[in-house]
Structure 1
């Protein structure tokens, strides 16, 4: 086979791969684009002409009605509080535990780390009843403590950061010890700057997981006062119908799409701002220890 034939074959393979990725991207993005554009359409047009888009008819009617009928701002506030506190706990504690597993030898280390990995195999639904009973005994039902503390130190976060920290050279830590650096100083001054890409990737995943969490908040925070954004979104149809007498299906659908669009914006902003760090973090997390 000549060089020109090989080059042509490679180009065809690349073209086929790119075409497949474009089709895949369109399949994933089409429903999202449709939902966002439809949120700006008049409510009746969403039902009568779902696939037609006339920019001259676009407006903010659905958004205005949604903010009047739905306590979405309160849901954002609760989610922001949980995200800030729970995310901080995860990003501080999980790498510390991972550092111990990666760089220290102690009795029962393998057993303890194996136990952490086993918890990854447990379905969330299995843990809900025991956790709910525990929250009830502590008097934490419908409180921020119940939303924040369970799962704050995530097993996956420990596993991932352990893989990242394992790649840090032991010689670098030994040299710092010789210079008189303490054990926490080793972690904070030597390890943390090296593992920043992995921490950034973990931060993005943690934000997405907490922001999208629904099952646990809907179980432990059933009151409207403590409802997070995802819980508010799940009850939108009944809330809109209850607050707006005679609300028809078109009105409910338009305000649902408007609320979903508003909820989508923070995640898109975070991902686009941190996508470089996220990709670097994924690659850092793939390093074998």
Structure 2
């Protein structure tokens, strides 16, 4: 028998939906404003910040920003770091998670505890030792320095351990009985089961690498090695230095244009993998 929704229930649902809509507007409002303002004339951004006239929209801000700052170099360097650093994370983190989830060996809990402790260390504590290590290796302003430190992330190992713990032990044992190798078990049995968790980790890994600023700005301080976030951080001073007489409105317009361009890859990624990301979040929440 269908249950009827009472008036108090409808009121609570209405208030909840209203709150969620306001929350959505609070999150998306600044982003939408920045994207729309990037198409406005520089003077109109300052004089009429909340008015949008599509008839006056222009792409000149985007043309100027690509001319004034090395956005292309920033995107290329970020793509290289994403490819190699993300690949290292996505290869080794599931293997480590598989070991912690499905094997019993001496000191397992101690080692896993040490991995978790590293999550509590502030990033700033590790920067100076890592920088000195990169200098000793001669890796300052190189891709090695941008890629290798932090490539095997403690959070990624923890995430994979939690996801793989939900894989039934019976599947693993049956594969061993059939003569499958340990790596074969991981490749043929475990990986197909944990695909949602892998997708969630992939999205988080890409976002973390793409948005990383502190380490790249310290270890790669030349224009040739700058990632997109480093390029954006120095955008105002770079624009002002490259154009004589660049005013506040022009700089603001190009900042908004560059930020809108930098937003596109993550927006496409999240829209394409939204379902997998949500499933991955749920898979990663399973207790091992």
Question: Under TM normalisation by the shorter chain, which class is it?
Answer: over 0.9
Cα deviation, 1:238-262, whole Å, max 9, x if unaligned, reads: 1111111111111111000000000
**C-alpha distance in structure 1 between counterparts of 2:7 and 2:155, whole Å:** 44
**After TM superposition, what 4+ stretches of structure 1 lie above 6 angstroms from structure 2?**
none
Q: CA deviation at 1:11?
A: 2.0
**C-alpha distance in structure 2 between counterparts of 1:227 and 1:279, whole Å:** 32
Other structure's SS at 1:181 match? coil
Q: How many residues align?
A: 287
Q: Where do 1:1-289 residues align within 5 Å?
A: 7-289=6-288
Question: Which ranges of structure 2 fall in alignment gaps of 5 or more residues?
Answer: none
Q: CA deviation at 1:14?
A: 1.6
**C-alpha distance in structure 1 between counterparts of 2:69 and 2:33, whole Å:** 22
Question: Which ranges of structure 1 fall in alignment gaps of 5 or more residues?
Answer: none
Normalised TM-score (structure 2): 0.98
Q: CA deviation at 1:13?
A: 1.7
Q: CA deviation at 1:151?
A: 0.4
Cα deviation, 1:150-195, whole Å, max 9, x if unaligned, reads: 0000000000110000000001111111111000000000000000
Q: CA deviation at 1:6?
A: 5.6
Q: CA deviation at 1:12?
A: 1.9
Other structure's SS at 1:40 match? coil
Other structure's SS at 2:273 match? helix
**C-alpha distance in structure 2 between counterparts of 1:262 and 1:87, whole Å:** 22
**C-alpha distance in structure 1 between counterparts of 2:88 and 2:118, whole Å:** 19
